[in-house]
Amino acid sequence: MSDSRKNNFIQIESLWMRVPDHIFGLAISRDSSGEADTIDESFWCRNLVQTNWKETTGLTFDLEWGGVVKLAFPWAVYQVKSTQNSDVLSEAALGAEMALRMLNDLALEPGRPDERRAYQTPTSDCFQVFAFTSEGPKWKIYICFRVKDIEGKKFANETSAFEMKRIWTGNISHETDAWTLIALIGQIREWARTEHRCFVFNHLRKWNNYYESLNAHSEQKPEQDKGASEGPKA
């Protein structure tokens, strides 16, 4: 599922810009298309729709800050220009980095953002997103991923480096390139429907349990305080 940006603005120097123009991610409900890349709210992902999720867990999963949550954990971003523009790559890179940082945080053991935390599994640092750019009829596709720590540090919620590599360039005014682009997008979407979706689900399970345990603790505390203030009964 995809979503055009409406209110996701960033400030670059003195200009306000919308980045990215378009995102592709997992829907959190089945009220749109009901396709297989939809997150099933009835299982451990159901708590994403709670208004206090971000405040409680510290885990961000949507690029539309402060707006109505539509998509979770983007798997691709798209930046478009009508003509050749030198800013298109940097803008796409910014959107991709935001998506990668969400996946990086998701892959960590649940905990406070200021805590040193390890990845949930030995392969939890193996995630990626894609970036599409178009300048008129000229399209480019990039794969974006985290640069693994060559020192083998166990804690990853500090400074992480991300890299973009171009994997395809084409001009859709040429029929062959146009069909190639359609085929590549189809393959990337199939990857998102299967591998990306499974990565999100597998790592979100612990976060859901973490969220529910924090909520249960916060609900018990007022009752304990109430009992303590009343004192022992005669």
Between 40 and 133, name the one with better pLDDT.
Answer: 133
User: For the segment 152-173, what is each residue's pLDDT rounded down to a tens digit?
Assistant: 554 455 556 788 999 999 999 9
Contact 57, 48 (CB under 8 A): no
- Beta partners for 162? 146
pLDDT > 90 in the chain, percent: 33
Tens digit of pLDDT for each residue in 50-82? 767 788 888 888 765 445 556 788 999 999 988
Could you give the strand order of the β-sheet that contains 138-146, starting from the edge strand earlier in sequence?
2-4, 22-27, 71-81, 128-135, 138-146, 162-171
What's residue 71's pLDDT?
76
User: What are the boundaries of each domain within the chain?
Assistant: 2-217
Backbone φ/ψ region at 233: left (φ over 0), alpha (ψ -120 to 50), beta: beta
Query: Residue 184 has what pLDDT?
Result: 97
Residue 116 phi/psi, 5-degree rounding, is -80, 120
